[in-house]
Structure formats: structure tokens, C-alpha cells
Amino acid sequence: MVVSIAELVKSIEDGFIYRDVKFYGCRIRRGRFAEEVAIDMCIEIDKRSAVILYMKIFTGREPYYRKWIEIFNIMNIKLDEIEVKFYETPYESWLLDKSSQFLQGGEKLFVEYIGDFETSKQLERGYPIVASRLGYEMFLRGFTWFKNWYFPEGFMEGNPKIQGEKPVDLLARKRHLNDIFQEVKQFIEWFDIHSPIDSYEEKAYRRAKNVYRVLKEELAR
């Protein structure tokens, strides 16, 4: 399912409600240039609201630049003694789903992970991105090429983030998946000899095995 920018913005503006907490785009405006949309994402409880993260959506500039989305400055918010987090919640799943529906082949999603302790720890240890908590969620949504912006070049790109890109065609998809397959295969083989030492390793190991199983079947076709 591919959605237009108008459909995406309308959906974000309408928002998503989980356990009486609304997650929605509370401020939507033009960005730094004509093709960019800037969005403040808020949570709302009993008509009180606060910003929890920011988004930028680039709608593309054919034939030179493809579309991208960035999700950044992600915070934990407390309203009326209720603490609301973004990472590893239905709010995260919903926003990743919406972002993925907008992006197509060769288009990118950037998600900051500095406040995601599990992902941070796993990437810090050098695990495959798809075995990290956030990277795995992006992989499940069709992103097949990844980069870890753990040390922003020129200090101008903000906090550490994962970049995920969808394949431009079937050939690129197969190439990307084969690269991921080889990476998780080596990761699994190492842990088959050296048992995981903590929950971060155990979770990454399980994800890697899931990815390995899925890709082994797909690449054999």
C-alpha cells in the first residue's frame, strides 16, 4: 500500500489513540524548502499536550532527489503523572508503518536511536543493524539497506540514527538481502560457540536467527 503526501499528512494530523493517549501531528508546516514538510508530533491526555518528537518529510524533486523521512529529537513525556515513551510502543509501530507506506524504492527513512537504550547498546557492540531492536523493525517494513550514523559527519546531522533504504528493484533487493544474510550468518555462528552474555545479546541473537530463516527461504527461490 503506497500513500500520497496528502494522505500521509492527513493520517498524521488525525493521529492514533492508544490507552486514551493521542499521538498526532500537532503542528504541520512548510520546511526549509518547498518539498519539505516539518511536523511536531505530540501526545495528548485530557486535552493537555506536549511534543514528543519531530519529523521532516521530503516529498522528492524529480528527477534529482528521492523522497525521505526523518524522525528525530525523540523524548519521554510526562503528563498528568502518566509517562509516555515512543520507542518500543504502539506509537512507534504506527509511525514506522505510516512512514513505510509513503516511501518506495530507493527512498530513505532516518530514525534517531539515542534514547533507545537497547538499540544503542547493540549497535555500540557492532551487531548487525537488522539484529538491533530498531533496525529489525525497519527491516520488517521493507528496508533492506542500512547505515548506522553513529558519528555524524561534520557534526551537522544531529544525534545517532539508523538510515534504512528500500531497494530500487528486484536485483537490488536480492543483493541487499544476500549481504544481510551473510552478515547475520556470521553473527549466528559466533554466538553458537560463544553463548550470549546478557539480554541485549540474547534478543539480537534471536532476531538474527529470524532474519536468517526468512532470507534463507527467499534467496533459495
Coil, strand or helix at 111: strand
Q: What is the average pLDDT score of the chain? A: 94
Q: What is the pLDDT of residue 105?
A: 96
For the entire predicted model, the pTM comes to 0.94
Strands 108-112 and 68-72: parallel
Query: What percent of the chain lies above the pLDDT cut of 70?
Result: 97
Select the more confidently predicted residue: 166 or 155. Answer: 166
Q: Is the pLDDT of residue 163 over 90?
A: yes
Report how far residue 195's alpha carbon sits from residue 202's, in angstroms, rounded to the nearest whole number: 9
Report the candidate in 129, 139, 98, 120 with the shortest Cα–Cα distance to residue 11. Answer: 98
Give Cα separations from 88 to 23, 41, 60, 81, 115 (angstroms): 14, 16, 29, 20, 11
- Listed in sequence order, the residues at least 6 apart from 183 whose beta carbon sits closer than 8 Å to its beta carbon are 128, 130
- Boundaries of every domain in the chain: 1-85, 104-221
Mean pLDDT for the stretch of residues 92-118: 98
Class in CATH terms, 1-85: alpha beta
Q: Which DSSP symbol is given to 20?
A: T
Q: What is the pLDDT of residues 38-81, one digit of tens each?
A: 999 999 999 899 999 999 999 998 888 999 999 999 999 998 88
Distance CA 17, CA 92 (A): 12
DSSP states of 33-92 as a string?
Answer: STTEEEEEEEEEETTEEEEEEEEEEE--BTTTB--EEEEE----EEETTEEE--TTSHHH
User: What's the one-letter identity of residue 198?
Assistant: D
